[in-house]
Chains A and B, each alone.
Chain A
């Protein structure tokens, strides 16, 4: 297969959408936190916790969507902890975030071992299966790529639309954005910056956890400890890439996933025999950095990102 064959194959685009799905959830989660002014570096650990919580609940007998709900709540619980430390206490968001990541990963392993003390391999669940959307799935190229996916993938795309709508078309969204730009203005309006920021971190963390759960409940059907493997950190970069805008962030996730799906396939072409495989693995990251450089020139960083707000302080 050469490059053009790859780019025009429906399987390539289907893979791209599959790879992008967990990133989309977590990127939207991070974006919501950051728009409210809080950098959430707990993302990697929250994804691990979500991946575990969703999977183990289904294994324990909950239906699949119940598992997604448990993952969401687990993420929200870690989000609550993060927001208490980072918002009213105003602690360093870097330290809190990395702390949450370490705490969530180790708590996950602890829980895993308590629940499954003696197993020969992590049990499997029946994961989400692809659902074809009638008529739309028959469109060449786009059909199989976009409309023959698991319900969680559709949910990821809906989440982007929902996030964009709430952020830009509702008073709540305005308050969230204002909390990240000019918290004192929010406060002057009689709104609680603390409540808005905490709410954004809690909800955002919930979506991150669902992104993790995608890995164990849709992309795969079991939980492995290192399986999140840095996807959370990618999402931090994707938020910047998307200039803190949901649509552009979605584009970034798709682009990154496309590079990943491409490198997997390029390894099997003629160049794969000459170029070391590490170069291929680097490809999505390098191309994303290049794209980031181009895209972020005109990006507007939320003015109050990482600035703690103390009411009445001047």
Chain B
């Protein structure tokens, strides 16, 4: 551990390192030690470019933590699932303290890698729960059903045909959960609301998402739930409204996107950083940190639609937001595949 300079005496940097390490050791709790007090080295591994919707939220939170000086952040983007476990190992071997990413396509292999590097904290987006036998792997997901529910209320109030089209990528838990919450919200305003649900079998095929949305509009939808890119474009072309998901897309579609349910990854990231630093990082489900109560999600500002949304919907959003925050109202979490009604 001690690094000596060429002249035999410990160098200043090595001395500092050793003392920091021993300070960390002295106060080490069970869990991951050596991290206390220093700037954490964090690596992100993403299967898509960092600007893309879901991943962009993680990236932004990590960059913010780096700007604050809490972490030193680097990332690999557009990593194929077939390469994913290898890249995890590379960062782990390089001595990163925490690795954040998404293992929806490599659930089993990623857990095997994590088990091989018990000193590295893994914070991974996953469809599964934490496993106590791999104490260094925590899971998260965008549990933004609170915001989706509120966006559903707005959609329910703004749809005059009572027919909402929803285009999703794949019916995995996070997608299903948000769709159900959105539908529950829309039904608050119109209990007879009809929903068209389709999955296109791809995350990034905007032409296909757009075609699917066109078909829904032909079939009577006058409001679209834009889970995928391409849907808001169909809405814009056909002159109907849409609701955004995960990111605020109103700037791209100023006359189309009424409201967006946004995910804030910061609470998840910051909680994990704090736990790694305190040496208390262990297998947990960080899903909770995406709840509205924790500041993990919110409804985007109405922007151009200020004053165009019916007052009763705004009132309901107001009361429900307050109730969600003080814990008197909980949006149901339903991970079942949604079906058309």
Q: A residues bordering B, Cβ < 8 Å?
A: 1, 9, 11, 15, 18-19, 109, 112-113, 119-122, 124, 215, 219-222, 224-227, 229, 260-261, 264-265, 267-268, 272-273, 277-278, 281
Contacts and interface: CB of A to CB of B under 8 A. Distances in A.
Give the interface SS of chain B, mostly helix, strand, loop or mixed.
loop
B253 to A, nearest CB: 10
A303 B74 CA distance: 53
Given A11-B214, A121-B252, A264-B212, A226 B204 contact: yes
5 contacts: A19-B211, A119-B51, A264-B198, A268-B216, A268-B340
A268 B198 contact: yes
B198 A220 contact: no
A60 to B, nearest CB: 18
B51 A267 contact: no
A264 B201 contact: no
Contact of B233 (A15, A220, A225, A272): A220
Given A113-B77, A121-B53, A227-B205, 15 more contacts: A109-B78, A121-B247, A124-B252, A220-B207, A225-B204, A226-B204, A229-B205, A264-B198, A265-B215, A268-B196, A268-B219, A273-B339, A273-B340, A277-B198, A277-B199
Interface string B190-207: 000000111111111111
Interface string B325-341: 00000000000000110
Nearest to A281: B201
Contacts of A15: 211, 214-215
Given A18-B211, A122-B51, A226 B202 contact: yes
Contacts of B219: 1, 265, 268
Nearest to B165: A268
B207 A227 contact: yes
A130 B244 CA distance: 26
A267 B49 contact: no
A243 B203 CA distance: 33
A113 B76 CA distance: 12
Given A112-B49, A113-B49, A273-B340, A267 B198 contact: yes
B51 to A, nearest CB: 5
B171 interface: yes
List 5 A-B pairs, minimum CB-CB distance, nearest first: A219-B207, A224-B204, A226-B204, A281-B201, A220-B206
B48 interface: yes
A219 B215 CA distance: 15
Contacts of B247: 121
B198 A224 contact: no
Nearest to A122: B51
Contacts of B197: 267
Interface in B200-250: 200-208, 210-212, 214-216, 218-219, 229-230, 233, 247
B322 to A, nearest CB: 31
Contacts of A225: 48-49, 52, 78, 204
A224 B229 CA distance: 9
A260 B214 CA distance: 13
